[in-house]
Structure 1
Amino acid sequence: MTGDLLLSAVVLVGSSVQWLTGMGFALVAVPALILLLGPTEGVVLANCAAGAICCVGLAGGWRHIRTTAMVPLCAAAACTVPTGTWLTRRLPESWLMLVMGSLVTVAVLLVLRGARATSLHGTKGAVVAGAVGGFMNSAAGVGGPPVTLYALNAGWPVREFVPNAMFYGVIVNAFSVASNGVPGLTATQWFLVCAAMGAGGVIGRRLASHIPEKRARLLVLLLALTGGTTAVGKGLWGL
């Protein structure tokens, strides 16, 4: 029972920050989910939950989607998702924890630094970001940072970044769920997860008017960094 309550708490926090900042469910939730459920189940639950949240969040933002960037981003992601799935099915659990924690940690540090690269411009940049994001999403449940870096290098304003990130989240998580499958949760766990997602959406929207966006995003990244390094530590401990 304690594990189920912790699971719903993780989903609640992840959902809240996703609605608060337009990003962050996977970054915040994945490290905790893989500690609670194991690498495979934690990732596939993150894929399902993040995809559902993005579907709801995208409802009012269709007019801001940049199809010239989203088509190569999503097409590249579709090509690399199976590679991430293949990797996770062949690595021992300790190595999976280490790899996933490292991917989250490195991705967060790059976003915190606001990394810029000439390779992340135009169609070529979209293909690179989408390919890396698709692999990371299916392998570690975290596909957003490469798209964030692409948007940063492209100079997208926040009002355009959020719906495009949501659209990418819908597509890449759909491919990841198709490749990885769905988590084997009990009926009670599914109920708690769905309830936590709904409650998190309400909380996140209410907090959005009280917490400055930059401060909220920094909090999300710091939480993700803590979770990522914890997963790395557990992976190293198990080797």
Structure 2
Amino acid sequence: MADPGVVGLALIAVAVLVGAGTQRITGLGFALVSAPFLVLLLGPFTGVLLANALSLVSNLVVLAQTRRAVETRRALLLAVPALIAIVPGAWVARTLPAPLLAITAGGLVLVALIAVLASERARVLRGTPGAVTAGVMSGFMNVTAGVGGPAISLYALSTGWAHRSFVATVQLYFVLLNAASIAAKGWPDLSPATWVVAGGALALGAAAGHRLARLVPPDRARALVAFLAILGSAATVGKALVEL
């Protein structure tokens, strides 16, 4: 059973709080912000599992708030290849040594974030082939690194997807993806204190994000998400390199 200690619990609370808030504002913020820090604090396997579990709850909350703007067909077009990619991804997550998996997880997030930040010049994921490619990349990364958003974000930028519809639709997509990831790897074994702190932070972050969604420009929110995720990913890779 993973027990991060008092300081660890405080850091988990901050990561989950900020992640839940940005999830409502940008549609993708939770995993990008929280997963690198959860991996750093709880280890690569348990940290990713907790990110999947909390992401699922966050997705359901935002989906309930934005359900009228969901594009079901596009969500399924992304989800089917992503669900297929979860199978090899789950095997990788269970097979690799912990430090190597941490380096892989953190490195995948860093590479994906760089691609997203450069996406105005690299809008390559278009049409059905683009959706399938994005789904495969997202599914594999979600089950191994706890972060499936960057590939979907790159697809959204490539296709000029309207932000309101994007925020709503990706919640349905990630409900399916996170549920499948948890089913493939199991439920995280955490102390009761960790669940209470994480759950409380998730609720507070979702409430705050709902209020801020109309005030914070999406571009600024995405920039903050990317910045925090890069820091967390770099710290995860650095810690794992020391442990090798």
Determine if the TM-score, normalized by the shorter chain, exceeds 0.5.
yes
Unaligned runs of 5+ in 1: none
Secondary structure class of the residue paired with 2:189: coil
Distance in 2 of aligned mates of 1:186 and 1:94: 23
Distance in 1 of aligned mates of 2:68 and 2:215: 27
Give the RMSD, CA atoms, in angstroms: 1.5
Secondary structure class of the residue paired with 1:101: helix
Percent identical across equivalent pairs? 43
Question: Does 1:195 find its partner at 2:200?
Answer: yes
Match of 2:122 in 1: 116
Letter in 1 for 2:108: L
- Per-residue CA shift, 1:168-206, capped at 9, x if unaligned? 111100110101111111222211111110111122233
Distance in 2 of aligned mates of 1:213 and 1:196: 22
Give the alignment's TM-score, normalised by structure 1: 0.94
Letter in 2 for 1:24: G
Match of 1:151 in 2: 156
Match of 2:173 in 1: 168
- Per-residue CA shift, 1:131-171, capped at 9, x if unaligned? 11111000000001111111111111101110111111111
Q: How many residues align?
A: 238
Secondary structure class of the residue paired with 1:48: helix
Match of 1:20 in 2: 25
Letter in 2 for 1:91: L
Question: Does 1:136 find its partner at 2:141?
Answer: yes
Distance in 1 of aligned mates of 2:129 and 2:68: 24
1:45–1:183 Cα contact (<8 Å) kept: yes
Give the alignment's TM-score, normalised by structure 2: 0.92
Structure 1 outlier segments of 4+, above 6 Å = none
1:69–1:123 Cα contact (<8 Å) kept: no
1:116–1:152 Cα contact (<8 Å) kept: no
- CA drift of 1:40 comes to 0.5
Unaligned runs of 5+ in 2: 1-5
1:33–1:42 Cα contact (<8 Å) kept: yes
Letter in 2 for 1:16: G
Letter in 1 for 2:92: L
Distance in 1 of aligned mates of 2:42 and 2:228: 19
- CA drift of 1:16 comes to 1.8
